[in-house]
Each structure stands twice: as C-alpha cells, then as structure tokens.
Amino acid sequence: MLEAMNELGIRSEHECFDIGHVGSLAALIDMDVLRAPLHVDCVMGVTGGIPATARNLAAMVAQAREILGMVRS
C-alpha cells in the first residue's frame, strides 16, 4: 500500500502515541518505505500513551527534528 501511495505522491498520516513511535519512523525512512516530509501527529493524554505535558510534547518534537529532520510549527 505504501508503495502505491509513494508512486501517487500521497502522504500518510502518522499518529505517535509515545516518543518511541517517532523514532520508529526513522527506520521506515531508511528502508525507503516512507519518504520525508512526513505528517506526524503527537497524540497525548490517552490510555497507554505519553502523558499530555508541555515537556513531553517538546521531547517528541525534538526527537522528530533530530531523527527525521522535519517538523513544522
């Protein structure tokens, strides 16, 4: 499915419920399954996810910038 989406220029949405989810996107880019730029949503404050704090959001954004080389405000 991602191959077809890449061929058509369709960008998938990636909902990250924890900081590790952001990091896992880098491996998919390295495998050329995903292509930057990505649409990443930080989903916080839900059961099983990262708590909704400004510090946690800043950490997720910092990791996205460092590992993925992206993030728009």
Distance CA 66, CA 48 (A): 24
Indicate the Cα dihedral angle 13, 3, 28, 56, nearest 10°: 0
Cα distance between residue 49 and residue 15, in whole Å:
11
For residue 72, the model assigns a pLDDT of 53
Task: pLDDT band for 55, please (50, 70, 90 cuts).
Answer: very high
Residue 57 confidence (pLDDT)? 96
pLDDT band at residue 59 under the 50/70/90 scheme? very high
- Domain locations in the chain? 2-68
Q: Catalogue the E-assigned strands of the chain.
A: 13-16, 39-42
Percent of the chain with pLDDT over 70: 95
Q: Give residue-wise pLDDT tens across range 15-34.
A: 999 999 998 998 888 888 88
How many whole angstroms separate alpha carbon 60 and alpha carbon 23? 9
Average pLDDT, the chain: 88
